[in-house]
Structure 1
Amino acid sequence: MKKANRIKKNEEFQYIFKHGKSFANRQLVIYYAEKPGQEHFRIGLSVGKKIGNAVKRNQIKRYLRQAFHEMQSDIRPDIDIIIIARQPTKSMGFHEMKKSLSHLLYKQQLLVKK
């Protein structure tokens, strides 16, 4: 995942929280906002300190980035997405996290129809 496709600025996070839509399951919360004319989707990741130490938080972020990388051709390009990890993610493996993420994206119709 290229760094240009990540959301880093606090203003962009706040815009998506305020103007976007949200959806959640037990493991992840997803906020998204449509950006017409955007060539590639962008993601922002948030893993709070309550989930674990820095090593665990970084591992969760790596898993989420890799899941997005593997699914990038299936995700609509005109959206900005913020993922917030919840407590159960600290005991999940990569495949479980990818399955949870793809379930959320599917439910909110953020995947490209084939």
Structure 2
Amino acid sequence: MKLKTDLPLPFAAAMLCLMALPAAAGDEVANAPATSQDDENATLVRLIHELDALSPLIYEAEGKSLVDKRVRLNYGWLRRDIALVKGGIEWHLNTPSTEPRNVEPLKGDYRY
């Protein structure tokens, strides 16, 4: 697979990781309709665990990278971008949804 070369390196690297997530989660999960908010949240929690599982692989790849390569992957940026994605998911899970308030209906008729 070839990425567009004009993408910033951290974005391109993060996209590579994110493209692998549906395969890691299983195709049946990616195509299954959500039946409740709890189902979605459970899947998002699993996604957070998948993102956490990437960390050792990133450190392993960084340890095996050649220091004299002309173009190197910035592993710090990759870890930061994955942390941003994870943080966004955690924020979504931990932020209470805003329930609609009971609003008094408008009269609509302003004549005396």
With the shorter chain as reference, the TM-score category is under 0.3
TM-score (normalised: structure 2): 0.27
In terms of fraction of residues, the more strand-rich structure is: 1
Structure that is richer in helix per residue: 2
TM-score by length of 1: 0.27
